[in-house]
Amino acid sequence: MNYLTHQTNFGKEFDHKILELKKLIQNIYQVKNEIPISESEPIRLHSSTLDSSSSFACINAILENRITMGATVKAYENLYSEYLGKTHKVLSCNSGSSANLLAISALFQSGKLKTGDKVIVPALSWSTTVFPLVQYGLIPVFCDCNDIDFNISNKNFERLIEIHKPKALMLIHTYGCPADMDAITDLCSKNSLLLIEDTCESMGSDWDNKKTGTFGDASTFSSYYSHHICTLEGGFTCFKNNDDYEVAESIRSHGWIRHLDKNNKIFYENPDLDPSFIFNYIGYNIRLSEPQAAIGLEQLKQLEDFVRRRKIAAARFISFFENYQDIFQYIKPLEKANSSWFGFPLVLNGKLRGKRNELRKLLIENNIESRPFLAGDFTLQPVVKSFKHFKDSSLTVSSSIATDGMAIPCHQDINEENISKITSVVDKFIKNKILT
């Protein structure tokens, strides 16, 4: 619905000032980056990926009157579809949480999921992976994770299929590490399960050289500040099936169907309604803006480098923690898994079990941030009492993560000095707690 074309050409003087602005922003970032980092500056859990090119792209879009969803958003979606190998059609939205909501809403409103259907979801989870299921009257069935890569336990998954006869799996690729997609896709295929991949914390990872987010009927990604790219807030929902994509496209924008081909029968069935204002789905407004998409186009150019730098940091941590495997568990990607390392999660084990809070206290005293590992065993959260659910009788690994799991900084900007400080503090903790 474009009643009038917006002005985008403002003359040579405008173009000249835009170039001046671009150089000024580059200079501002140069000054910012040259400021020495104070020794008292904390080692942050996450670091912004935004740079001068992203900031300029955002401001330039605003100045050129590219505000609400339009051509820049479409270009951003197309670029990400190409990145995934064009296996899925891509819709951007305003957050990774909304991406999950949009995926479930589209599958529900298309009739592929129905009220009362059971959906398996990892117990090691995040709130907005679970909540869209509940909001659409679906019943979460919580499954334990394994103690190797902390992804869903194939053994528990298979057992829950037999017991509960679910309709779908809402899978999480944990902390950047791809799950065992050979076994999971095989079980989903054999049992006619819909597969939804929550890939919000695992952008840039792949399984057997195939991008995560390209195995499922639907998949989701996030471009929140702490994730692999940043568009301020933002996300993607991707669909293998074009009909699901068209339903989701309406849901994303108020339930409107104005994007449909004008030969679609619904327009003939409603001749008295303005074709630009027909609503056929229960919708939301969870669109991405043009300035955010402009940022995203710049960020996607750098995604592979961001992931490369995260891998270097993770390798450095592994070289330290592999010497303490009796007291620390950490993610060990399977042979075909190429992790993009959202962070570096740990589970305190053996003689360190029960001492997580002490370690986190020592880290913060040394200006090092840490956090719980996802939400631990989500079935322990008080909100779970408010909705119907099922869970495996034994959530052993997820429960251990709830009490002894944590994550330390591992991102594209962490440097060797930071890593050395973190491992030094951890080493001191080990010696104080075990050797004394």
**Average pLDDT of the residues in 60-81:** 96
Specify the higher pLDDT residue, 290 or 3: 290
The answer to whether the beta carbons of residues 152 and 171 sit under 8 Å apart is: yes
Task: Tell me the domain boundaries of the chain.
Answer: 62-297, 303-434
Catalytic residue among 173, 227, 228, 389: 227
> What is the rounded distance in angstroms from the CA atom of residue 322 to the CA atom of residue 328?
8
> In which band, very low, low, confident or very high, does the pLDDT at 418 lie, cut at 50, 70 and 90?
very high
Percent of residues, the chain, with pLDDT higher than 70: 98
> What is the rounded distance in angstroms from the CA atom of residue 100 to the CA atom of residue 128?
7
- Which segments of 225-355 does DSSP mark as H helices, in order? 242-252, 265-269, 290-321
Q: In this predicted model, what pLDDT tens digit does every residue of 103-122 receive, in sequence order? A: 999 999 999 999 999 999 99
DSSP state of 213: T
Angle between helices 12-34 and 52-63 (to 10 degrees): 150
Check: CATH 3.40.640.10 for 62-297? yes
Computed over every residue of the chain, the mean pLDDT equals 95
> What is the rounded distance in angstroms from the CA atom of residue 60 to the CA atom of residue 138?
43
The CA-CA-CA angle for residues 304, 310, 316, to 5°, reads 140
Q: What confidence score (pLDDT) does residue 2 get? A: 58
Q: How far is CA 96 from CA 157, 218, 233, 234, in A?
A: 25, 13, 8, 6
> In which band, very low, low, confident or very high, does the pLDDT at 259 lie, cut at 50, 70 and 90?
confident
Query: Quick one: which of 254, 261, 243 has its CA closest to 277?
Result: 254
Residue 7 pLDDT exceeds 80: no
Between the two ends of the chain, the Cα-to-Cα distance in Å is: 72
Q: In this predicted model, what pLDDT tens digit does every residue of 307-356 receive, in sequence order? A: 999 999 999 999 999 999 999 999 999 999 999 999 999 999 999 999 99
Residue 252 pLDDT exceeds 60: yes
> In which band, very low, low, confident or very high, does the pLDDT at 393 lie, cut at 50, 70 and 90?
confident
Handedness of CA 94, 100, 103, 104 (dihedral sign): negative
Q: What confidence score (pLDDT) does residue 170 get? A: 98
Residue 1 pLDDT exceeds 60: no
- The predicted model scores a pTM of 0.95
Is 227 one of the catalytic residues?
yes
Other C-beta atoms lying within 10 Å of the C-beta of residue 99: 32
Q: What confidence score (pLDDT) does residue 436 get? A: 59
Q: What confidence score (pLDDT) does residue 281 get? A: 95
Tell me the one-letter amino acid at 117: D
DSSP state of 238: E
Q: In this predicted model, what pLDDT tens digit does every residue of 127-155 receive, in sequence order? A: 999 999 999 999 999 999 999 999 999 99
Check: CATH 1.10.10.10 for 303-434? no
Tokens of 364: 């913060």
Q: In this predicted model, what pLDDT tens digit does every residue of 81-100 receive, in sequence order? A: 999 999 999 999 999 999 99
Tell me the one-letter amino acid at 10: F
Q: In this predicted model, what pLDDT tens digit does every residue of 161-206 receive, in sequence order? A: 999 999 999 999 999 999 999 999 999 999 999 999 999 999 999 9
